[in-house]
A and B are shown apart, each in its own frame.
Chain A
Amino acid sequence: MGGHRQVRHVVRDLFTENPCLPKSLSSFSRSLRIGTWPASTAIVAVIILLVYACLVALAVQSVTWFEPSIFLYGMLLISILLVAAVLYSGLAGEREKKSLDLLLVAPVTGAQIVAAKLTKAFLPLVASILALMVPAIVIGMMRIVKGQPAFIDNVNFPIALAGALGLTLSANVLVAGVAVYMSALNKTMSSALTATIGCLFALYVVIAVLVSAMAPISKDLVDTLLAYHPFVAMSSLLSQNARFAGLSVGFSSVFHIAVGAGLLWASVRALETERKKGGRASA
């Protein structure tokens, strides 16, 4: 009961009554105006998607091997890129434009500032999930209607969709944590961008490649070490390796949510510290 009240209190503090939120939302919607980079990126993305959809339609007509998984991988990849792209600039941008001090002297908490920045990523995240989940569902259904299993590997269709969604959401908690934390630590947007890309690249590419190199030593070890990787979890989910899939998806989700939440907490702390330490570039 008390916990429930506390949750309500936190939600009110950070979201429904967070005074910084409206600006985040409106500045995000403004950034979609033609002529700004998110808008141009979105236009290019839509064109690519349309071309892609035409190819898909052709493929569905002719080939039996075409199944929904490519959209689910796409959903994971694109949502990560979008969330990182929207969030890396939040705090570093305020700092670069010298407007962060004005927020820090205002009667708002560090958590409210971070929550406001996070909401900027909400719309792109939902949009990227919808844009790729819907075709995945359509294609899966079409295959089922044609009398084929939704996936070539005959994975349970609803479970695969739910698992992919869970992996995507949890991966994005970590990505948001990394981007916001790098934004909290860096003084310029460009260094925040470099740091964000660097961290994600190290986490998802460098480690994966290094670990895979150990395959000759022990295949099991590699599988275990790579279980955190959302693409590895996704591939076990979408293959018939059902037992490993449950473990891998579970582990990956918990790992991403825990690390992401930790990083968001660290970002709030960094802001609060900045408030005490003065925040100016030290001489």
Chain B
Amino acid sequence: MLEVKGLRKAFGPLVAVDNISFTLEPGDIFGFIGSNGAGKTTTIRMLATLLEPDSGTAILNGRDIRVDPMSVRRQIGFMPDDFGIYDDVKVWEYLDFFATVYRVPKVERQSVIDNVLELVDLTAKRDAMATSLSRGMRQRLSLARCLVHDPSLLLLDEPASGLDPRARAELKELIAELGRMGKMIIVSSHILPELADFCNTVGIIERGKMVTHGRVEDIVRSIQQTRILHVKVIEGASEASMFLHGKEGVAATNLTGSTTLTVEFVGDGDMQADLLGVLVSEGYRVIEFREEAANLEDVFLQVTTGAVN
């Protein structure tokens, strides 16, 4: 479990990270979103014990990053936004070096290396020189390096930058898989939709402050006061529209076809269920009643002002 408590870092007069707090449980994938210069990298580097916070701290599985950085380091896999790979080593030697550095016992090293290569799908490149890898492969090799010591927290700073759409999709799949393995993962990006489909929690940071954070659905709900419900009935859409008008939580209704309508709705899940209940009990044959997929991009634009440091 990771508890981040009031992290703060200033560079001279510029407060890069201001009082950031959040908590992660095993299996949580935390999407850390913010525009350029918002403070994502600074936060991640503090968590990685590469930068000392001015105040605040974080506790990883009971260890304080400021009190006991060495044992925190053993539990962290860090993928910086900009990293280099030694130019004189083969892929497996590169991983072997980091396995040694992280004190993976010698007898286990070979199998650990084979496993992580398999996981990131680089088995075929085992004996290739690390520098001969393509950008996407390097990114995956870097992820493999983060995994050799089986860390409980992964800090991935813009892991998808510079990848083509296909490589991006593969990387997302891989990160989701790691989440299922019970790791806590923090992934930063400035593009929210990129994270939306595999993160279960997100935090939006702007000018060093966490504007909002929590479960993806909760955030969308709290921000998007009005939700759009798509309703489809077998017949009588216009009567249904009339009927729903003025019911609790319904702000407006719109007829979109002979059998479909949309409802602008303000309220929680219970109220939404009640609304469906009355609609059905009134005799309407409802075949679809769904909330419009949360548009995270809109949410992001709504909570941030576009101000940068």
Chain A residues engaging chain B, CB cutoff 8 angstroms: 19-20, 22-23, 26-27, 30-31, 97-99, 101-108, 275-280, 282-283
Contacts and interface: CB of A to CB of B under 8 A. Distances in A.
B51 A97 contact: no
Nearest to B51: A278
A23 B130 CA distance: 15
Interface in B79-109: 80, 82-89, 93, 97-98, 100-103
A133 B159 CA distance: 54
B89 A107 contact: no
Nearest to A36: B88
Contacts of B51: 276-279
8 contacts: A19-B102, A97-B87, A98-B83, A101-B78, A102-B80, A106-B98, A107-B103, A276-B51
Contacts of A19: 100-103
Interface of B: 11, 42, 45, 48-52, 70-71, 73-74, 76, 78, 80, 82-89, 93, 97-98, 100-103, 145
Contacts of A105: 48-50, 73, 76, 78
Contact of B101 (A101, A108, A275): A108
A99 B83 contact: yes
A282 B10 CA distance: 12
A208 B101 CA distance: 44
Given A20-B101, A276-B52, A107 B83 contact: no
A97 to B, nearest CB: 4
A272 to B, nearest CB: 11
B89 to A, nearest CB: 7
Given A97-B84, A283-B11, A102 B98 contact: yes
Contacts of A99: 83-86
Contacts of A283: 11
Contacts of A22: 97, 100
Nearest to A22: B100
A107 B74 contact: yes
Contacts of A26: 93
Residue of A23, A26, A103 contacting most chain B CB atoms (<10 Å): A23
Contact of A277 (B48, B52, B83, B89): B52
Contacts of A277: 51-52
